[in-house]
Each structure stands twice: as C-alpha cells, then as structure tokens.
Structure 1
Amino acid sequence: MRNRQLNNLTVLKSIRKELCNGATDAEKLLWQHLKGSQLAGLKFRRQHSIGLFVLDFYCPSERLAIELDGEIHQTSEVRLNDEERQKAIETLEIQVIRFQNAAVMDNLSQVLRDIQQHVKKG
C-alpha cells in the first residue's frame, strides 16, 4: 500500500487547500520552520494526504507525519477518533508524532528538537 496512488488523491484537493488556507497559528508557525528543508535538511509537505487521511505535515523520506492538536482534540470523542486515525495511518508504515498547539506556540524550539530527535531514533 506504499504506492503513489495513495498520495494526494484528487478527490481531497479542495479539502487540502481549505486546510492550508485555514491553518491555525500553530500550523503557520511550525510551517515557517519546516518548509524549504530548514529542519535537518528534511523535506516536509503540509496538508499532504495519504489515502483518505490529510496529514498536517509529512516528511516522505522519513515516512513521518506530524499532527498538531488544538483544544478540540481534548474531547473524548475527538481523542478516540484521533487514536483510530493514527492506528490506520501507522498501518501504512508511517510514524505519527503529535504536539499540542500550545506547545508549538509556547516552546517551538523544544518541538523542533523533539522532531529532530524522533528522526534520529527512526
């Protein structure tokens, strides 16, 4: 299931665009530090879809997804959905790491270090 046909399905193009245009402040801030291979020379894509899942950020070379969670992700229903979604993504041999929006806004340097550490462990 690692074929090109799963990446950025046309049916999700408008959703990906809408998510990019409506990015949270935390997504915008983290993107400023991920784009252009600024972090350890890694190429990240934002709002990249694999299958029917749209990932906040994705590094194809590392098969790494980064998801940012706002306050809505604290509700039990959304948390359960996130867990099921993450398990499904991980069946595609993609690692998922999650950060709270507040962590990005309050301690960006630590978030960037955590991403780099995760890549080194992989």
Structure 2
Amino acid sequence: MPHTPIPPLRRANAKRMRKAMTDAELKLWNAIRAHRLEGLGFRRQVPIAGYIVDFACPDERLIVELDGSQHAEDQALRYDAARTARLEADGWIVLRFWNDDVLTDLDHVCLHILTVIGRGR
C-alpha cells in the first residue's frame, strides 16, 4: 500500500514532538522501544494518513494513542473518532489509553497491547 504524502511542516512537527514527549509518552516509549515488548518494533510520533500518531507498530498494523484530559472534551472526542475511523479504514488497529493509565498501571497497558494482537497471556 503506498504511503500518504506527508507535508514537510507535518513531518517537522512529528520530529519536534519526538523531542518533547509527555511523561506518559516517555514512560510507555521506554517500555516498548528497541523491541522490548515481546520483540515488537514500535516507532514514535509517526505520520500516518495525514495524522501524527503517538506510537505505531507497522508489522502488526497497530497504533497506540495516549490521551490527556483535553481528549475528554466534545470537540476532541469527535476529532478523535473521525481520526480513528480513518486509520481503521486503512487497516490499522487503534488503541487509546489515558495518560494516567500509563503512569499508574503500565503493566496492564502493555498486557492489553499484547492481548489485542494475540500475544497476551
């Protein structure tokens, strides 16, 4: 499947976001980077289908999004739903976790990721 062209400004924004990760993003990244989670290869702040996703595992067509409290507002919920629908239409599985879930129960978050792709206990 061909890649959706990424405008230079969006690509630069993804690069900037990789350098300014939230505490939750950094905690999850340290758990999944370098194939630490059952050998899965994740990338962070990846441009996909015109969006920048928090984490992507291309081999499993899996996207992991971490959401702060601003994602609970009506407008953000609608935007996230449209974004998820677009990514799923392209064959991606999209998982969303609250930042607090990652910060307080990282093991459960990682287990849920593995369960969704069929590698959980």
TM-score greater than 0.5 by the shorter chain? yes
Q: May I ask how many residue pairs the two structures share in their alignment? A: 118
TM-score, with structure 2 as normaliser: 0.92
Equivalent residue letter for 2:11: K
Is residue 34 of structure 2 the alignment partner of residue 36 of structure 1? yes
Corresponding residue for residue 96 of structure 1: 94
Instruction: Kindly report which structure 2 residues correspond to 1:4-19, keeping only aligned pairs within 5 A, or say none.
Output: 5-6=3-4, 9=6, 11=8, 12-19=10-17
What is the CA–CA distance in structure 2 between the aligned matches of 1:89 and 1:22, rounded to whole Å?
Answer: 24
Corresponding residue for residue 62 of structure 2: 64
What is the CA–CA distance in structure 1 between the aligned matches of 2:14 and 2:50, rounded to whole Å?
Answer: 11
By relative contact order (CA 8 Å, sep 6+), the higher-ranking structure is 1
Question: Unaligned regions of 5+ residues in structure 1, if any?
Answer: none
Question: Unaligned regions of 5+ residues in structure 2, if any?
Answer: none
TM-score, with structure 1 as normaliser: 0.91
Percent identity between the two aligned chains: 32
Superposition RMSD in Å? 1.3
**How much has 1:119 moved relative to structure 2?**
1.0
Corresponding residue for residue 76 of structure 1: 74
What is the CA–CA distance in structure 2 between the aligned matches of 1:65 and 1:47, rounded to whole Å?
Answer: 10
Corresponding residue for residue 111 of structure 1: 109
Corresponding residue for residue 85 of structure 1: 83
**How much has 1:6 moved relative to structure 2?**
2.4
